[in-house]
């Protein structure tokens, strides 16, 4: 029994949430649906941990879905690049569910609760599937599973703008996914295979054709939409801003990262760094866009009045950092980018959880709602300050570690490197502006009548928020685990010669 | 000549794709946007299906004396993609119904006027 | 007790104190007793470390390793000992003073005040003991954050504006200049440890090192080198004990201490004198001294005048550190102590005047010496020490600084120091003189001094100014052991 479970761990990772999502919907009862989802999330987390241990002990793991051997069948492949992403996803799955019991109760009308949880589980299953699969077409299918369910999640928001945000995201997301489909079709035409490892073997011989170049361009542009890389980020602020808090927490922490994962996976594993950065001008394009993203995102964040929008625009900027690391294409740069993907997930998760706590009390998270929160909700604001300092990149927080590695990586790149460092530092200073604006309101402005009687958020909401806050601090003090994971991930992507 | 007729299927896919994309961008009506999206996706389906065809290939059912078969895999793939496309359309239409309820309009400009979204 | 335990104890005691203060928040007497006891114990543990600190570079004490190859660690060395001694001693004195001041001025949120104060001291000691630039940077930023609630203590719009400038300048400089300088140094040398003789040891070209020097000098915003001095006058919205200890001693001295450490242990005196960038920074420091003195003369608000005086005096220390001659470094290190005692006395007086009379402007203080003779006397002594006149401690450090600029062959800088001393006389001495002698015919005045704890504190620090004049030898030895590496 045990050995059967262990042999099928990669399948279980995806199937658990996928299978229980419809059951969850059938349960109908709010508490039961939540409980089921939470149990599934714990199991998923356990599976991801087991996979992570297995991979770090014994190297990459290949699982033939349904017993069809790759490259004919669908292969699930866990290596040191995606194993940590599985852990991150299932961790956020648990944390968000712990948070959502109370939060969803307040933000979504009663009959739809079970629907919310099953859509949520589908979304998680899709994201896990994208990460774990070694099959290019399978990526598309899982991408659509996760996208469709996240459109549903966003449309649950109480504000009617949630609907238009979901619609806008649906249009842009579908265009992105279809671009990916075209790209995969092209490379299938040229090689006759869909297995990523097999593609990597067969592509080099046909590399110098317009078809492959077009395929590459389609995949990059398509995924850049899902990554929300400037200037394709327009869907993101409203989608995160108007979604129910629980959904914003999960999507902000994971969904763009998973898309970036796909981008990195295709660039390095399928096409190879030599093609992407040698034959194609990927580096200058991405660097320019990413640096612009840092500025545009941070500046827009400063002028927002809704905290969720502030955080969403800050995400646009932070995605810029990750893409900078990825675009440097060196071992140091890639590890810095991957490292920031983890760290940002933790910090932004923490901040959105705080926004959710405030939303729980006041039914909105405008900047006015933060007046006097330093007094009335000290614990909530404490977590906010920790997460905010992380975004700024203060020492002893996770953000500092990413910034350190990013700057170290950029130093190897001469003059361009200096421009990047300047952009990264300017981004940090702008982060000071948008974080401190909120902190000042919370600690210096007296609350009005509505907010005067605000109480501290319920304990059950504070636990996940503080868990993420403490994780931010822990990574800041002892980042060896994440740094090690990011570095071995980068190493596995670049081959044995970093 | 081969450029036009030899690659006929690609031209069809390309023209359909551009038509779909144009509707998607230029139309202010949400339903029309969805139609555009559908045409856009369909063009990709056609691209896939046509690439499976091999000249002189038979239907991919194992029969005596046939050497060349058409590649069935793209068809299978696109079956999945069609399902995904249907789901997307259904979801999009559902959203449009809700938008109509909330805003009383499905014209982009009207909605934008009401609360600056879209 | 073992050396490791003592070092940890010295840093952790104020932290523990902060927690205790938080717990005792509802009983003011107990709360302040806790502060005093913690202060005493902290000073004691620093004092016990003294022999170890004087014996040169002691073993490294690693307590965390946030980045591979880099650790957060402590190590004692003479300069750090000097700084830790001053900070922990003056904390006790300031605590006594705060009790009188905070109660006298009826400030709100006193518990938060004492908590943040204890935290700030813990982080200051962390800076003093840090064994590498990373540790120093971590505590440097923590110090900025922990003093922010103190600066904005009043919570009104003025405090918020002040706090914004304070945080803005300090964070901007540290993120935009200090941090990249540290990372660049690390990528060039592969280490961030403070080592006698520096770490560059001929591996970098002079352009890079020069650029790094400029980045460090401006990046350490706490050293208030012009044009990044604006935060210091802004910080004066804080209650006076904060201005006294943090913005005349702990925070600003953390800045110049950092610069001194960087020049001595990162660049090394031998390398520094070869840099062209050094000459540039020397003249900027000189300009900072003169300009700040001139601005100080135009300020009527007593605390603002003292703040600009501090900016100018910090320029002295930066100047001495950059001169990189034995006398210059000795002078700079001694001036950290001398200026600390002098300026804290002056701030104590400013606070005492505010508590007793609610007066903040210098023009209102004519004839105040008859109502507050003791305060004005202390102010006179403090002024003399800042100016550098015997019989006060400031004499010695100025002496060495001038000697240092002569050694380095910078006659112009010697001129700057002399002109600045004259300016000091012009903006400081009129205050006590007019306090005692002006406005005689405004009727009889009644003796109305500040609360007694304030007077005790002032007495201790002004006595300190005298003591440092008559017994400068230990201080000199401590400072002189710097440029020799191990004494």
Choose among A395, A432, A480: nearest Cβ to C137: A395
Rounded to whole angstroms, the Cα distance separating C234 from A311 reads 30
Phi–psi pair at A192, nearest 5 degrees: 75, 20
| Residues of chain C where predicted confidence (pLDDT) is lower than 70 | 1, 56-57, 68, 202-204, 439-446, 483-487
Is A151 at the interface with chain B, CB within 8 A? Answer: yes
Choose among A155, A171, A178: nearest Cβ to B98: A155
Phi and psi based region of residue A61 (left: phi greater than 0; alpha: psi -120 to 50; beta: remaining): beta
Residue among A433, A346, A439 nearest A384 (CA): A439
Is B35 at the interface with chain A, CB within 8 A? Answer: no
Phi and psi based region of residue C388 (left: phi greater than 0; alpha: psi -120 to 50; beta: remaining): left
- Burial bucket for residue B6 (CB in 10 Å: 0-12, 13-18, 19+): exposed
DSSP state of C70: E
Q: Are C303 and C246 in contact (CB under 8 A)?
A: no
* Chain C nearest CA to A444, separation (Å): 6
Is A468 at the interface with chain C, CB within 8 A? Answer: no
Phi–psi pair at C72, nearest 5 degrees: -95, 115
Inter-chain touch A178–B95, beta carbons under 8 Å: no
Is B81 at the interface with chain A, CB within 8 A? Answer: yes
Give residue C400's pLDDT: 87
Reading the block at residue A376, the tokens are: 């009335």
DSSP-derived pairing of the beta strands A61-64 and C70-74: unpaired
* Chain B nearest CA to A480, separation (Å): 41
Rounded to whole angstroms, the Cα distance separating A61 from B59 reads 37
Chain B residue with minimum CA distance to A237: B117
Residues of chain B in contact with residue A144, where contact means CB-CB under 8 angstroms, are 84, 87-88
Is B37 at the interface with chain A, CB within 8 A? Answer: yes
Model ipTM value: 0.93
* Chain A nearest CA to B64, separation (Å): 24
Choose among A160, A165, A174: nearest Cβ to B103: A160
Residues of chain A in contact with residue B102, where contact means CB-CB under 8 angstroms, are 160, 163
* Chain B nearest CA to A265, separation (Å): 21
Reading the block at residue C423, the tokens are: 């300016």
Residues of chain A in contact with residue B92, where contact means CB-CB under 8 angstroms, are 167, 170-171
Choose among C67, C141, C180: nearest Cβ to A394: C141
Residues of chain A in contact with residue C204, where contact means CB-CB under 8 angstroms, are none
Is B99 at the interface with chain A, CB within 8 A? Answer: yes
Residues of chain B in contact with residue A168, where contact means CB-CB under 8 angstroms, are 118
Q: Are A433 and A332 in contact (CB under 8 A)?
A: no
The structure tokens 């050094």 sit at C278
Q: Are A340 and A325 in contact (CB under 8 A)?
A: yes
> How open is the CA angle C156-C161-C165, to the nearest 5 degrees?
145
Inter-chain touch C175–A429, beta carbons under 8 Å: yes
Q: Which chains touch A (3 or more CB pairs under 8 A)?
A: B, C
Q: Tell me how many residue pairs between chain A and chain B have CB atoms under 8 A apart.
A: 71
Chain B residue with minimum CA distance to A137: B77
Residue among C127, C17, C142, C137 nearest C74 (CA): C127
Residues of chain B in contact with residue A166, where contact means CB-CB under 8 angstroms, are 95
Chains B and A touch (3+ CB pairs under 8 A): yes
Which of residues 104 through 143 in chain A touch B, CB cutoff 8 A? 137, 140-141
Rounded to whole angstroms, the Cα distance separating C34 from C24 reads 8
* C interface with A, Cβ–Cβ below 8 Å: 64-68, 134, 137-138, 141-142, 145, 152, 155, 159-160, 163-164, 167-168, 171-172, 175-176, 179-180, 183-184, 186-187
Give residue A453's pLDDT: 66
Q: Which long-range contacts (CB under 8 A, 24 or more apart) does C181-186 make?
A: C181/C212, C181/C215, C181/C216, C181/C219, C182/C133, C182/C134, C182/C137, C183/A404, C183/A407, C183/A408, C183/A411, C184/A411, C184/C208, C184/C212, C184/C215, C185/C133, C185/C212, C185/C266, C186/A408, C186/C70, C186/C133
Tell me the CA distances in angstroms from C46 to C18, C51, C82, C260, C465, one per residue in order. 18, 10, 10, 21, 21
Inter-chain touch C138–A395, beta carbons under 8 Å: yes
Rounded to whole angstroms, the Cα distance separating A169 from A154 reads 9
Residues of chain C in contact with residue A426, where contact means CB-CB under 8 angstroms, are 176
Full residue range of the structural domain in which residue B34 is found: 2-54+71-115
Q: Is B61 inside any structural domain? A: no
* Chain A nearest CA to B88, separation (Å): 7
Residues of chain C in contact with residue A408, where contact means CB-CB under 8 angstroms, are 183, 186-187
| Residues of chain A where predicted confidence (pLDDT) is lower than 50 | 496-498
Rounded to whole angstroms, the Cα distance separating C46 from C85 reads 6
Chain A residue with minimum CA distance to B112: A164
Inter-chain touch C175–A432, beta carbons under 8 Å: yes
> How open is the CA angle A42-A383-C20, to the nearest 5 degrees?
115
Which of residues 363 through 402 in chain A touch C, CB cutoff 8 A? 389, 392-396, 401
Inter-chain touch B115–A161, beta carbons under 8 Å: yes
| Domain of residue B40, CATH code | 1.10.287.3510
Is B102 at the interface with chain A, CB within 8 A? Answer: yes
CA torsion, points A211, A212, A216, A217, in degrees to nearest 10? -30
Is B36 at the interface with chain A, CB within 8 A? Answer: no
Choose among A140, A170, A188: nearest Cβ to B95: A170
Is A463 at the interface with chain C, CB within 8 A? Answer: no
What is the crossing angle of helices C302-323 and C251-261, to 10°? 10
Residues of chain A in contact with residue B74, where contact means CB-CB under 8 angstroms, are 185, 188
Inter-chain touch C175–A407, beta carbons under 8 Å: no
Q: Is B59 inside any structural domain? A: no
Give residue C440's pLDDT: 60
Inter-chain touch A411–C183, beta carbons under 8 Å: yes
Q: In a mutagenesis test of the A interface, which of C25, C132, C183 is the best target, namely the one with the most A β-carbons within 10 Å?
A: C183
Q: Are C116 and C97 in contact (CB under 8 A)?
A: no
Residue among C222, C57, C186, C66 nearest C138 (CA): C66
**Structural domain count of chain B:** 1
> Which element (helix H / strand E) includes A110?
none
Q: Are C334 and C400 in contact (CB under 8 A)?
A: yes
Tell me the CA distances in angstroms from A249 to A22, A252, A315, A461, C427, one per residue in order. 23, 5, 12, 12, 58
What is the crossing angle of helices C78-104 and C28-54, to 10°? 170
Q: How far apart are the first and last CA of chain C?
A: 25
Q: In a mutagenesis test of the B interface, which of A109, A140, A163 is the best target, namely the one with the most B β-carbons within 10 Å?
A: A163
Give residue A498's pLDDT: 35
Chain A residue with minimum CA distance to B102: A160
């Amino acid at each position: 029994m045990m050995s059967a479970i262990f042999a099928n761990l990669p399948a279980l990772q995806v199937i658990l949430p996928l299978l229980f999502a419809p059951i969850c919907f059938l349960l109908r009862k709010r508490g039961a649906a939540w409980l089921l989802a939470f149990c599934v999330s714990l199991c998923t987390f356990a599976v991801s941990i087991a996979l992570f241990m297995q991979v770090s002990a014994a190297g990459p793991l290949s699982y033939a879905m349904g017993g069809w051997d790759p490259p004919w069948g669908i292969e699930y492949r866990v290596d040191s690049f995606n194993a940590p992403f599985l852990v991150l996803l299932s961790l956020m799955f648990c944390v968000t569910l712990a948070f959502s019991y109370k939060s969803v109760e307040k933000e979504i009308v009663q009959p739809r609760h079970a629907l919310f949880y099953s859509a949520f589980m589908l979304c998680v299953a899709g994201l896990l599937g994208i990460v774990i699969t070694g099959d290019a077409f399978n990526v598309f299918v899982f991408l659509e599973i996760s996208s469709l369910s996240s459109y549903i999640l966003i449309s649950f928001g109480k504000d009617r703008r949630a609907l238009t945000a979901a619609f806008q995201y649906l249009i842009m997301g579908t265009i992105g996914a279809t671009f990916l489909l075209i790209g995969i079709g092209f490379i299938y035409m040229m090689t006759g295979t869909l297995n990523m490892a097999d593609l990597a073997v067969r592509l080099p011989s046909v590399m110098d054709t317009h078809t492959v170049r077009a395929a590459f361009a389609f995949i990059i542009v398509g995924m850049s939409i899902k990554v929300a890389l400037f200037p394709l980020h327009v869907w993101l602020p409203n989608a995160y801003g108007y979604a129910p808090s629980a959904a914003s927490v999960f999507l902000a922490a994971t969904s763009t990262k998973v898309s970036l994962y796909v981008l990195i996976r295709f660039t390095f594993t399928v096409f190879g760094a030599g093609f992407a950065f040698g034959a194609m001008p990927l580096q200058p394009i991405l660097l320019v866009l990413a640096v612009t993203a840092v500025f545009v995102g941070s500046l827009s964040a400063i002028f927002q009045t809704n905290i969720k929008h502030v955080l969403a625009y800050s995400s646009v900027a932070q995605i810029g950092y990750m893409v900078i690391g990825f675009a440097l294409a060196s071992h140091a740069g890639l590890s810095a980018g991957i490292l920031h993907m983890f760290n940002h997930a933790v910090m932004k998760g923490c901040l959105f959880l705080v926004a959710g706590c405030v939303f729980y009390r006041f039914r909105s998270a405008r900047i006015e709602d933060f007046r006097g929160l330093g007094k009335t909700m000290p614990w909530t604001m404490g977590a906010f300050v920790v997460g905010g300092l992380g975004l700024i990149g203060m020492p002893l927080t996770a953000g500092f570690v990413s910034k350190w590695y990013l700057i170290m990586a950029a130093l190897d790149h001469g003059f361009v490197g200096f421009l990047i460092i300047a952009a990264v530092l300017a981004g940090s200073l702008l982060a000071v502006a948008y974080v401190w604006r909120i902190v000042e309101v919370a600690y210096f402005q007296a609350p009005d009548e509505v907010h005067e009687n605000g109480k501290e958020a319920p304990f059950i909401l504070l636990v996940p928020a503080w868990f993420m806050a403490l994780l931010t601090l822990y990574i800041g003090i002892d980042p060896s685990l994440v740094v090690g994971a990011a570095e071995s991930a980068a190493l596995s992507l670049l081959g044995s010669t970093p | 000549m081969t450029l036009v007729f030899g690659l006929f299927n690609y031209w069809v896919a390309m023209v359909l794709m551009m038509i779909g994309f144009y509707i998607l961008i230029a139309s202010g009506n949400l339903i029309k946007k969805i139609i555009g999206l559908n045409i856009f996706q369909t063009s990709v389906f056609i691209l896939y299906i046509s690439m499976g065809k091999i000249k002189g290939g038979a239907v991919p059912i194992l029969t005596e004396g046939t050497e060349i078969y058409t590649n069935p895999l793209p068809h299978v793939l696109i079956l999945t993609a069609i399902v995904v496309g249907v789901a997307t359309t259904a979801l999009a239409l559902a959203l449009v119904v809700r938008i109509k309820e909330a805003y009383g309009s499905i014209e982009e400009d009207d909605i934008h006027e009401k609360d600056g979204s879209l | 007790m073992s050396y490791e335990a003592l070092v940890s104890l010295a840093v952790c005691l104020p932290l523990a104190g902060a927690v205790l203060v938080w717990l005792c928040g509802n009983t003011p007497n107990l709360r302040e007793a806790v502060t005093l006891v913690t202060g005493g114990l902290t000073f004691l543990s620093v004092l016990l470390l003294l022999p170890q600190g004087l014996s040169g570079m002691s073993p490294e004490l690693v307590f965390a390793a946030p980045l591979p190859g880099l650790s957060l660690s402590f190590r004692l060395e003479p300069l750090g000992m000097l700084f830790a001694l001053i900070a922990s001693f003056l904390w006790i004195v300031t605590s006594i003073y705060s009790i009188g001041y905070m109660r006298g001025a009826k400030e709100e949120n006193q518990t938060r005040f004492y908590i943040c104060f204890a935290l700030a001291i813990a982080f200051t000691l962390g800076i003093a003991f840090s064994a590498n630039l990373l540790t120093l940077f971590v505590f440097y930023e923590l110090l900025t954050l922990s003093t922010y609630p103190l600066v904005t203590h009043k919570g009104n719009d003025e405090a918020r504006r002040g706090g914004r400038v304070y945080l803005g300048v300090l964070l901007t400089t540290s993120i935009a200049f200090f941090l990249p300088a540290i990372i660049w140094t690390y990528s060039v040398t592969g280490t961030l440890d403070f080592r006698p003789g520096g770490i560059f040891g001929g591996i970098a070209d002079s352009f890079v090192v020069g650029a790094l020097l400029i980045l460090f000098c401006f990046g350490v915003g706490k050293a208030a080198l012009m044009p990044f001095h604006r935060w210091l006058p802004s910080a004066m919205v804080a209650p006076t004990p904060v201005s006294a200890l943090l913005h005349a001693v702990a925070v600003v001295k953390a800045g110049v201490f950092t610069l001194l450490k960087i020049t001595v242990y990162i660049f090394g005196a031998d390398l520094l004198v070869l840099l062209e960038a050094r000459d540039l920074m020397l003249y900027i420091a000189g300009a900072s001294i003169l300009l700040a003195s001139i601005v100080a003369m135009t300020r009527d608000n007593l605390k603002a005048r003292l703040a600009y005086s501090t900016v100018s005096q910090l320029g002295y220390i930066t100047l001495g550190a950059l001169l990189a001659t034995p006398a210059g470094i000795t002078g700079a290190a001694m001036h950290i102590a001398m200026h600390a005692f002098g300026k804290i006395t002056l701030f104590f007086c400013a606070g005492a005047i505010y508590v007793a009379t609610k007066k903040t402007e210098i023009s209102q203080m004519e004839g105040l010496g008859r109502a507050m003779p003791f305060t004005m006397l202390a102010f006179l002594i403090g002024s003399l020490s800042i100016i550098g006149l015997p019989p006060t401690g400031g004499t010695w450090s100025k002496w060495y600084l001038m000697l240092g600029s002569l050694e380095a062959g910078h006659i112009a800088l010697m001129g700057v120091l002399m002109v600045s001393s004259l300016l000091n006389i012009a903006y400081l001495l009129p205050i006590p003189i007019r306090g005692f002698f002006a406005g005689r015919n405004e009727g009889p005045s009644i003796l109305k001094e500040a609360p007694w704890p304030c007077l005790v504190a002032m007495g201790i620090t002004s006595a300190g100014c005298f003591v440092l004049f008559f017994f400068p030898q230990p201080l000199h030895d401590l400072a002189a052991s710097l440029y020799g590496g191990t004494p």
